[in-house]
Amino acid sequence: MKTTSLSSTIMPVKLLLNNPSLPVTRFLSMKFGPSISAPRPVPAFSRVFPLRLRYLALGSQRTFSTRRTGSGSQFLRGYERKAAVGGSKSLVDHEAELSDWVSELRTDTTRGGGGRGEESDGGGRRGSRVRDRGGDREPYPAKRSRRDSGADEFGESRTRGGFRSFPGSSRMSKRDDHDDKEGRSFPPRSNRGSSSSNDRFGESNRRRFPSSNPSAFTRNPRMDRRFDNKFGDNAVKEDGFPGRRGPNFRGNSNASSSSLSKRGGREVDSGFRRGGEGLRKGGRDSRKEKEMLVVDDSDEDEEVNELGVGIADLLTEEDSDSAASDEDDEYEGLKDKSSAALFGSDKEVVSQKAVPKSSAGDSDSYLSESRFDQCSVSPLSLKGIKDAGYENMTVVQEATLPIILKGKDVLAKAKTGTGKTVAFLLPSIEVVVKSPPIGRDHKRPPISVLVICPTRELASQAAAEANKLLKYHPSIGVQVVIGGTRLALEQKRMQANPCQILVATPGRLKDHIENTAGFATRLMGVKVLILDEADHLLDMGFRKDIERIIAAVPKQRQTLLFSATVPEEVRQICHIALKRDHEFINTVQEGSEETHAQVRQTHLVAPLDKHFSFVYSLLKEHIADDPDYKVLVFCTTAMVTRLVADLLGELNLNVREIHSRKPQSYRTRVSDEFRKSKGLILVTSDVSARGVDYPDVTLVIQVGIPADRQQYIHRLGRTGRKGKEGQGILLLAPWEEFFLSTIKDLPMTKAPVPLVDPDTTKKVARALSQVDMKNKEAAYQAWLGYYNSNKKIGRDKHRLVELANEFSRSMGLDNPPAIAKLVLGKMGLKNVPGLRSK
Ligand SMILES: Nc1ncnc2c1ncn2[C@@H]1O[C@H](COP(=O)(O)OP(=O)(O)OP(=O)(O)O)[C@@H](O)[C@H]1O
């Protein structure tokens, strides 16, 4: 394994030297089709990197790289003529897809209102799939896409042929999935009451979580000992996969193993565990704790209570808070470049120091050779950067910063966990710095920078990062507006605390545009608009909100789109937000995977009735291997997430859950706890799939088919961040195996089948019997809704119901739970044999 890794480390470097296939790819502005070939000079960037880059604009794609050769701070340069991206698709395909989109857009525009990318379980709602209430999957209807119409039913064929695997094929198809109907079965916001669906689940949501008592969060040493004895004492982390370095990466080859040992040696310093009986309590009491929340705002109540969980999980209402491009082979070494020379700075240049060998602790593989103090950012920003512990730029930061600083629109693609947030925040802050200062009494300064994130967690995280960078800019304020908090509170907060940088989720931002006095005027000051997780925000679930937001900010602005995944169709529609002459900067080397080499990816295909015991066994094995385990278990929907969390709690594992059906205060607390903790499992819906930066996640398990290839990549990206190791396991049922064809280019192997002895089987069955029946019913309905919306699995309703009933049996139920007729009607499942209605 090590040999493989070493060769794979060396090979790309050789390639770099002999063949200018270089890792950072920069594209000309988005064009439709591969036909753009006119050479175009890039004076701005050449000025910024005068000695580092020269361009030949051939084709629609340019590449460049910065790489140290031998000692010192030499960089390799190279440029390559490349086939246009998307070459596998014909121009006809592109045009067909574009025309699909345009007609959909028209439909969207005419239907008005509706679709927001928020979440729900179940399949009644049409139009939007994922809601920023957190991003749990919302099923999309099974309208057959042209492209996939010939696919095997249920993907039962295990061959990988017959399924288009270029990135984004599934997404394109998904777009086709959307029905014209918006599923407006929800009452308008004002009509929604704080009813009592919680009560249905025995959750008295008005009880106070004892978070005011710090001891509630301190560890119980006795429990820890008991826990460690049970799972961790003699645990030795297997020296799994050596840290193969992609050609983008530098750093010594020992980095990964050292990181491994460091991780193994770290103390468990925070988070509370439950062990032994305490762990048993973890199942039940954790639920109690979850119930004892500070639920002090109406939106949160609405989020949990709306329509009653049964239907609410099936039907997500329109929720205004969003709760819802070269010269061949040129290598120019840089020797002792001054920062001004490096970046063509026409600004104040901050003193430079020798380039440090390493500045990132465990692994610096994701870092570039360039230091922040070599670029033209303000001294106060540099101080903030230094205090944040950043010295060298990451690859994406190095690639984008000079271009953004020049005012260009940018679409940037960089792997997960490689510092995209700082990449867009830092140059945006510089825009504010250069803006005329606001007067002290200016309570409502224009908003200069608007950052849109798809989930609340991500928005809060980006705001926190901005605050770090703004430490020495006291006159620049950041505010965050997200769903799940009272609009009025945010309005007051924004009034009391002037801000020039606003981070928001789309739905809540739209609320403010429509309901907050003076807000629209403030937005007219926007100079930089950022779409984080851009591909997701431009997806159908969010697009209408995004279009509304774009219409509310000035046309004369800079726009930055960042994501770890940029499917072809997103490139084709990004002109919604970006200027035509924007730059596409792709730091994922052409031909390399979009996932990290140091993350071991495996898949396991097993019948549904084995899934629960497999998840338990996989977790137990991992816990035994790594006492500092930190695991994310992704489930298909919020209600299935709750079921799995309940089950694992009953099995005495130290588990938390997070999904859209939890109040925001709870989500924030659990998210913070997981960020700081070790020895903890977070069972989650897709609210945690994108962007969330939990350090040192050791394992990501994905149970059931992810919504698409992108979602698989983003979920997996919660581990292996900042060059660290990680592991990912995808657990599928046999009829979900077709999904593997969409990720066949990723380095994935078969996982060994976990050993499940009869005792374990009994234990899991017993634990399942302890899970609240209502939660099983809700999970069944949500499961049915999710797969009903899958264009392959949901096509044959009879088969779908058979599978759902298999899921029901896997929960230990003899009979499938009855579902309300209304709900079955909404799902298009009325009178399908095998279903019970009520
Ligand atoms: N220059 C830097 N040096 C060291 N650490 C950095 C640097 N820039 C960012 N980081 C850290 O790297 C981590 C990952 O950053 P971030 O969350 O922005 O990644 P990302 O690329 O946006 O990931 P995702 O695709 O999952 O959203 C964060 O903990 C951040 O603080």
Average pLDDT score over the chain? 67
Count the domains in the chain: 2
Residue 416 covered by a domain: yes
How crowded is the C-beta side of 296, counted as CA atoms within 13 Å? Answer: 5
Torsion, CA 35, CA 38, CA 44, CA 45, rounded to 10: 60
Q: What is the pTM of this model?
A: 0.64
State what percent of residues in the chain have pLDDT above 90: 49
Which of 422, 535, 537 maximizes ligand 1 atoms within 8 Å of its Cβ, making it the mutation to test the pocket? 422
| Residues across the chain | 838
Which of 382, 467, 693, 718 maximizes ligand 1 atoms within 8 Å of its Cβ, making it the mutation to test the pocket? 693
| Residue 466 sits in the same domain as residue 557 | yes
**Residue, of 58 and 98, whose pLDDT is higher:** 98
Q: Which atom of ligand 1 is nearest to the CA of 691?
A: 27
Residue 626 makes CB contacts below 8 A (sequence gap 6+) with: 235, 237, 263, 264, 698
**Cβ burial, residue 441 (10 Å; 0-12/13-18/19+):** exposed
| Residue 537 sits in the same domain as residue 604 | no
Residue 239 covered by a domain: no
| Residue 573 sits in the same domain as residue 655 | no
Q: Is 597 in the pocket of ligand 1 (CB under 6 A)?
A: no
Q: Which atom of ligand 1 is nearest to the CA of 388?
A: 31
| Residue 634 sits in the same domain as residue 545 | no
Q: How far apart are CA 599 and CA 717, in angstroms?
A: 9
| Residue 430 sits in the same domain as residue 541 | yes
Residue 205 covered by a domain: no
Q: How far apart are CA 776 and CA 641, in angstroms?
A: 11
**Domain with 624 in it: what CATH number?**
3.40.50.300
Cα 820 to middle of ligand 1, angstroms: 45
Most confident of 20-29, 96-105, 169-178, 258-267: 20-29
Lowest mean pLDDT among 151-160, 447-456, 635-644, 705-714: 151-160
Is the confidence at residue 105, as pLDDT, over 90? no
Q: How far apart are CA 603 and CA 742, in angstroms?
A: 13
Cα 148 to middle of ligand 1, angstroms: 36
Categorize the per-residue pLDDT at 581 as very low, low, confident or very high, splitting at 50, 70 and 90: very high
Cα 494 to middle of ligand 1, angstroms: 27
| Residue 749 sits in the same domain as residue 725 | yes
Strands 680-684 and 630-634 come out as parallel
Q: What is the pLDDT of residue 572?
A: 87
Q: Is 454 in the pocket of ligand 1 (CB under 6 A)?
A: no
**Cβ burial, residue 783 (10 Å; 0-12/13-18/19+):** buried
Q: Is 422 in the pocket of ligand 1 (CB under 6 A)?
A: yes
Unique residue bearing structure tokens 């302890």: 770
Is the confidence at residue 448, as pLDDT, over 90? yes
Lowest mean pLDDT among 185-199, 552-566, 666-680: 185-199
Categorize the per-residue pLDDT at 442 as very low, low, confident or very high, splitting at 50, 70 and 90: low
| Residue 614 sits in the same domain as residue 573 | no
Provide the 3-class DSSP secondary structure of residue 821.
Answer: helix
Residue 58 covered by a domain: no
Residue 646 makes CB contacts below 8 A (sequence gap 6+) with: 283, 287, 771, 772, 775
Q: Which of 364, 332, 343 is nearest to 406 (CA)?
A: 343
Which of 386, 418, 632 maximizes ligand 1 atoms within 8 Å of its Cβ, making it the mutation to test the pocket? 418
Query: DSSP class of residue 439?
Result: P
Residue 279 covered by a domain: no
Question: Over the stretch 527-557, which tens digit does the pLDDT of each residue have?
Answer: 999 999 999 999 888 999 999 999 999 999 9
Question: Over the stretch 214-223, which tens digit does the pLDDT of each residue have?
Answer: 333 233 333 3
Q: Is 692 in the pocket of ligand 1 (CB under 6 A)?
A: no
Nearest CA to ligand 1 atom 12: 419
Nearest CA to ligand 1 atom 4: 390
Q: How far apart are CA 592 and CA 574, in angstroms?
A: 23
Q: How far apart are CA 541 and CA 529, in angstroms?
A: 19
Cα 603 to middle of ligand 1, angstroms: 27
Q: Which atom of ligand 1 is nearest to the CA of 392?
A: 1
Cα 461 to middle of ligand 1, angstroms: 11
Question: Over the stretch 312-366, which tens digit does the pLDDT of each residue have?
Answer: 333 332 233 333 322 222 222 222 223 332 333 222 222 222 223 333 334 447 8
Provide the 3-class DSSP secondary structure of residue 413.
Answer: strand
Residue 784 covered by a domain: no
Q: What is the pLDDT of residue 524?
A: 96
Domain containing residue 384: 371-586
Nearest CA to ligand 1 atom 11: 419
Is the confidence at residue 259, as pLDDT, over 70? no
| Residue 509 sits in the same domain as residue 468 | yes
**Cβ burial, residue 636 (10 Å; 0-12/13-18/19+):** buried
Residue 5 covered by a domain: no
Is the confidence at residue 250, as pLDDT, over 90? no
Q: Is 691 in the pocket of ligand 1 (CB under 6 A)?
A: yes
Q: What is the pLDDT of residue 531?
A: 97
Which of 390, 451, 585 maximizes ligand 1 atoms within 8 Å of its Cβ, making it the mutation to test the pocket? 390
Q: Which of 226, 245, 731, 299 is nearest to 488 (CA)?
A: 299
Cα 199 to middle of ligand 1, angstroms: 40
Cα 419 to middle of ligand 1, angstroms: 3
| Residue 635 sits in the same domain as residue 700 | yes
Cα 244 to middle of ligand 1, angstroms: 20
Lowest mean pLDDT among 90-104, 525-539, 564-578: 90-104
| Residue 619 sits in the same domain as residue 764 | yes
Q: How far apart are CA 177 and CA 68, in angstroms?
A: 47
Cα 692 to middle of ligand 1, angstroms: 10
The last residue of one of the domains, among 534, 556, 586, is 586
Cα 675 to middle of ligand 1, angstroms: 14
| Residue 612 sits in the same domain as residue 543 | no
Cα 691 to middle of ligand 1, angstroms: 9
Residue 564 covered by a domain: yes
Cα 174 to middle of ligand 1, angstroms: 30
The last residue of one of the domains, among 535, 552, 586, is 586
Q: Quick one: average pLDDT of 698-720?
A: 96
Q: What is the pLDDT of residue 690?
A: 94
The last residue of one of the domains, among 730, 755, 771, is 771
Q: Is 563 in the pocket of ligand 1 (CB under 6 A)?
A: no
Strands 501-504 and 367-371 come out as unpaired
Residue 428 makes CB contacts below 8 A (sequence gap 6+) with: 404, 449, 451, 501, 528, 530, 560
Q: Is 393 in the pocket of ligand 1 (CB under 6 A)?
A: yes
Q: Which atom of ligand 1 is nearest to the CA of 717?
A: 26
Cα 613 to middle of ligand 1, angstroms: 35
Is the confidence at residue 460, as pLDDT, over 70? yes
| Residue 465 sits in the same domain as residue 555 | yes
Cα 416 to middle of ligand 1, angstroms: 8
Cα 417 to middle of ligand 1, angstroms: 5
Cα 503 to middle of ligand 1, angstroms: 17
Q: What is the pLDDT of residue 440?
A: 59
Lowest mean pLDDT among 17-31, 234-248, 274-288, 716-730: 234-248
Query: DSSP class of residue 368?
Result: E
Which of 420, 587, 715 maximizes ligand 1 atoms within 8 Å of its Cβ, making it the mutation to test the pocket? 420
Q: Which atom of ligand 1 is nearest to the CA of 390?
A: 3
Nearest CA to ligand 1 atom 1: 393
